[in-house]
Amino acid sequence: MTKTNADKRLAELDVDELEEAEAAVELARLSNEIARHDELYHRDDAPLIDDAAYDALRQRNEAIEAKYPALIREDSPRHRVGAAVNEAFSSAPHSVPMLSLGNAFEQSDVEEFLSRIRRFLSLSEEAPLEIAGEPKIDGLSISLTYENGKLVRGATRGDGQVGEDVTRNILTISEIPTTLEGNDIPALIDVRGEIYMSHADFLSLNERQEAAGAKLFANPRNAAAGSLRQLDPKITAGRPLKFFAYAVGDSAAMIEASGGRIATHSDVIAELQSWGFPTNPLSRVLSDAASLMAFYDEVGAARATLGYDIDGIVYKVNDLALQARLGFVSRAPRWAIAHKFPAEKAMTIVEAIDIQVGRTGVLTPVAKLAPVTVGGVVVSNATLHNEDEIERKDVRVGDWVIVQRAGDVIPQVVEVMLNKRAADLPRFEFPTRCPVCGTKAERAIDPKTGRTDAARRCLGGFGCPAQAKEQLKHFVSRSAYDIEGLGDKQIDAFYEDELVREPADIFTLAQRDEASPLTSLKNRDGWGEKSVSKLFAAIDERRSIGLDRFIFALGIRHVGSATARDLARFYGNVESFYQAMSAAYDEESDAFQALSNIDGIGQVVARSLSHYFHEQLNRAKVENLLQHVEVEPVEFETISSDVSGKTVVFTGKLEEMSRGEAKALAERLGAKVAGSVSGNTDILVAGPGAGSKLKKAEEHGVQVMTEAEWLALVS
């Protein structure tokens, strides 16, 4: 999906300056941008940005989520891995998901990573904590399945759950053993690693490509990915691919096969090497933040001499038992992080400043640049985010500016070169009316704080074509209804021709098309019978959807995928959800109190939801949509237990485990974790220092138990 103006406008504002409402908009922007580039990188092998720019997107996302954990979306990059598989390959489900990693960019990020681990495990600063460090290879992740020591399948990462079956191509790579040799080999084991291409081999390959008049590869990573994902294994066999093994899918299988001899990640790597896998010789076991940083500097200094591309260092908790306790946070393990190398900058001139309008009405300024190469990619746009940022940096048309691609797909303007400014350049005047519909555009004022919103919004609502189109684009986006064949261009065209003006129209499109043969889609430019048939089939496939994706697809302000998932978990089905939202407009009502008490929701999100469903236009759109789609209750993977379905609140200091570990355990057991006590609360787990929540629980007759009693109940 292309980046919307509302998604772009806040990207240059410091995280510390973001209000909660601004943070929600920014997280939505980041989610859409990263999803798009996941597909370009993982599925299409055609990235538009370099690793530094991509990683900075994730860094900003994580920083905002750390500040506003209640806004974490289900489609957050931390919950998502890779991209859907290419239909040209057979799908290959992973028995253990291939997750990605969180990112660190500064020493403080690394120190915080170590602190988080200690907090989660309740480890003191003096307790030893071994960390395995290894170079992060810039290649293509692969999973190799061995049965009784024989290679039976090779699969790409895909979306983390399902990859592409590239077994025939894998068999052509000489560095990957087809038969394992050694001791204690499990009957079934998935070996994870990275396929890459050396610098020398990359240059030789491009020389051969040029001599043959074929397309040149942009970099070794693209060359490796493109070579592996060939439909003809003979082409792959002629490409110089290499491999490093870095993990296994399920270390428990190795632990069991070794009789407990294997206890650490470094043990796993040594075992893989003994079976015939190449592993990175620079890997090392480290002990503290200082040694991690020293290793980072050491490898970074040698980066140019390695002969292959790396884009950072990966740190992993070495102890496998601690890894198991730490577990995962959707997309990534808690026990690992990638410490990335920095990005690049360039200087160019601002040729114009355009104002774009997003789905929530936000007016976003974008600088049109004289094309310049940054990090090997030619860029011509830079986000300016909002009028305050333009004023603060005093960006003017005609200015020379420093831009960087770190932190945004559309680069950021980092600095204005005032010493190169012409004396007669006028200041940029930000419009006070929507450039699309002409409606007045205002900056809201928070009645509680008196602070003026950073965003100026068009007040035209769905009457503004720009907002209506962006809402529809959000509805069909990957994390929402994910309708193949309905991209930005199609939505724009269908909207302009009044074929699709609201989500329900999508599901009546085929019926209306059949009833109007003279204006049938197949007669339009760029369409034919086959493409129209595929579109209608894709729409039909989405007539049934999970409640969480349905809620997210509505595009309600502040409601990301994580919030939608929390709501789906709490309300269970669309009837209960719709009824509760309709009743929640009165903030004194039980419905509003229950909504705002859901862990991760809060007053701001609750208000946004209740106001959305109070608007008659929105209710009509939802009701129209429900006439054409079926919304399925979402089944979450949990363990059946005595607390399944119960609402639990934790308060006070927990001594046996951290609050995060307790919450994760409760949710795995099927409980709903709320942030505050209400009449719907079933259990309050109260540690030392419990205050008002304990008193409120007693007032509501909620069962109160100590941490020890809770652990005994769920053991």
Q: Give the residue-averaged pLDDT of 278-305.
A: 91
By 3-state DSSP, what share of the chain in percent is helix, strand and coil, each rounded to 5?
40, 20, 40
User: What's the pLDDT band for 610 if we cut at 50, 70, 90?
Assistant: very high
pLDDT confidence of residue 408: 42
> Under 8 Å CB-to-CB from 25, ≥6 apart: which residues?
6, 7, 9, 10, 360, 362, 455, 557
Catalytic-role residue among 8, 136, 340, 672: 136
pLDDT confidence of residue 81: 59
Kindly state the DSSP code that residue 534 receives in the 8-state scheme: H
What does the alpha-carbon distance between residue 360 and residue 558 come to, in Å, rounded to a whole number?
10
Which comes out higher in pLDDT, residue 100 or 534? Answer: 534
pLDDT confidence of residue 225: 87
Q: Which of 412, 468, 447 shows the shortest CA–CA distance to 10?
A: 412
User: What's the pLDDT band for 6 if we cut at 50, 70, 90?
Assistant: very low
pLDDT confidence of residue 1: 40
Amino acid at 638: T
pLDDT confidence of residue 3: 43
How do the domains of the chain map onto residue ranges?
A: 91-340, 546-632, 647-714
pLDDT confidence of residue 4: 45
Q: Give the residue-averaged pLDDT of 372-399.
A: 84
What does the alpha-carbon distance between residue 410 and residue 398 come to, in Å, rounded to a whole number?
19
Q: Which of 405, 388, 408, 396 shows the shortest CA–CA distance to 368?
A: 396
pLDDT confidence of residue 318: 95
Kindly state the DSSP code that residue 586 receives in the 8-state scheme: S
Q: What angle do CA 332, 337, 338 make, to 5 degrees?
A: 115
647 pLDDT above the threshold of 50: yes
The model's pLDDT over 671-680, given as tens digits with 9 standing for 90+, comes to 888 877 877 7
pLDDT confidence of residue 38: 73
Helices then strands, each counted (H, E), the chain: 27, 26
Strand 336-340, strand 332-333: pairing: unpaired
What does the alpha-carbon distance between residue 433 and residue 3 come to, in Å, rounded to a whole number?
22
Strand 683-686, strand 703-705: pairing: parallel
* Token duo for residue 540: 């039909």
Q: Which residue has the tokens 């792959």?
A: 236
- Kind and range of the H or E element at 340? strand 336-340
Task: Tell me the CATH number of domain 91-340, given options 3.90.105.10, 3.40.640.10, 3.30.470.30, 3.40.50.300.
Answer: 3.30.470.30
Cα-to-chain-centroid distance, residue 642: 33
Kindly state the DSSP code that residue 214 receives in the 8-state scheme: P
What does the alpha-carbon distance between residue 605 and residue 560 come to, in Å, rounded to a whole number?
10
Amino acid at 43: R
Half-sphere exposure of 528 (CA within 13 A, CB side): 1
Cα-to-chain-centroid distance, residue 588: 35
pLDDT confidence of residue 105: 84
Of the given ranges (399-403, 546-550, 586-590), which has the lowest mean pLDDT? 586-590
pLDDT confidence of residue 241: 93
Which comes out higher in pLDDT, residue 514 or 87? Answer: 514
* Token duo for residue 504: 């329900």
Q: Which of 651, 644, 649, 635 shows the shortest CA–CA distance to 687?
A: 651
What does the alpha-carbon distance between residue 480 and residue 467 come to, in Å, rounded to a whole number?
17
> Under 8 Å CB-to-CB from 442, ≥6 apart: which residues?
432, 456, 457, 459
For the whole model, what pTM was predicted? 0.51
User: What's the pLDDT band for 5 if we cut at 50, 70, 90?
Assistant: very low
What does the alpha-carbon distance between residue 332 and residue 101 come to, in Å, rounded to a whole number?
5
313 pLDDT above the threshold of 90: yes
> Under 8 Å CB-to-CB from 34, ≥6 apart: which residues?
54, 57, 58, 61, 77, 80
390 pLDDT above the threshold of 90: yes
Q: Which of 668, 622, 304 shows the shortest CA–CA distance to 475?
A: 622
The model's pLDDT over 523-535, given as tens digits with 9 standing for 90+, comes to 888 888 899 999 9
Which comes out higher in pLDDT, residue 190 or 594? Answer: 190
What does the alpha-carbon distance between residue 679 and residue 699 come to, in Å, rounded to a whole number?
9
What does the alpha-carbon distance between residue 272 and residue 11 come to, in Å, rounded to a whole number?
43
Kindly state the DSSP code that residue 249 receives in the 8-state scheme: S
Percent of the chain with pLDDT over 70: 91
Q: What angle do CA 384, 385, 386 make, to 5 degrees?
A: 105
Amino acid at 351: E
CATH number listed for the domain at residues 546-632: 1.10.150.20
User: What's the pLDDT band for 20 if we cut at 50, 70, 90?
Assistant: confident
> Under 8 Å CB-to-CB from 312, ≥6 apart: which residues?
55, 103, 135, 136, 338, 339, 340, 341
What does the alpha-carbon distance between residue 690 and residue 688 come to, in Å, rounded to a whole number?
6
What does the alpha-carbon distance between residue 470 and residue 555 come to, in Å, rounded to a whole number?
10
What distance, in Å, lies between the first and last C-alpha atoms of the chain? 45
Q: Which of 314, 221, 318 shows the shortest CA–CA distance to 268?
A: 318
User: Residue 469 catalytic?
Assistant: no
At the topology level of CATH, where does 647-714 sit? Answer: Rossmann fold (3.40.50)
Of the given ranges (75-79, 375-379, 578-582, 615-619), which has the lowest mean pLDDT? 375-379
Strand 630-632, strand 544-546: pairing: parallel
What does the alpha-carbon distance between residue 36 and residue 478 come to, in Å, rounded to a whole number?
9
272 pLDDT above the threshold of 50: yes
Alpha-carbon dihedral angle through residues 344, 348, 352, 356, given to the nearest 10 degrees: 0
599 pLDDT above the threshold of 80: no
pLDDT confidence of residue 51: 66
* Token duo for residue 254: 């190795």
Q: What is the mean pLDDT of the chain?
A: 85
Distances in Å between the Cα of 364 and the Cα atoms of 353, 382, 544, 666 are 10, 11, 35, 42
> Under 8 Å CB-to-CB from 706, ≥6 apart: which residues?
685, 686, 687
Q: Are 51 and 407 in contact (CB under 8 A)?
A: no
The model's pLDDT over 319-352, given as tens digits with 9 standing for 90+, comes to 999 999 898 876 688 999 999 887 667 789 999 9
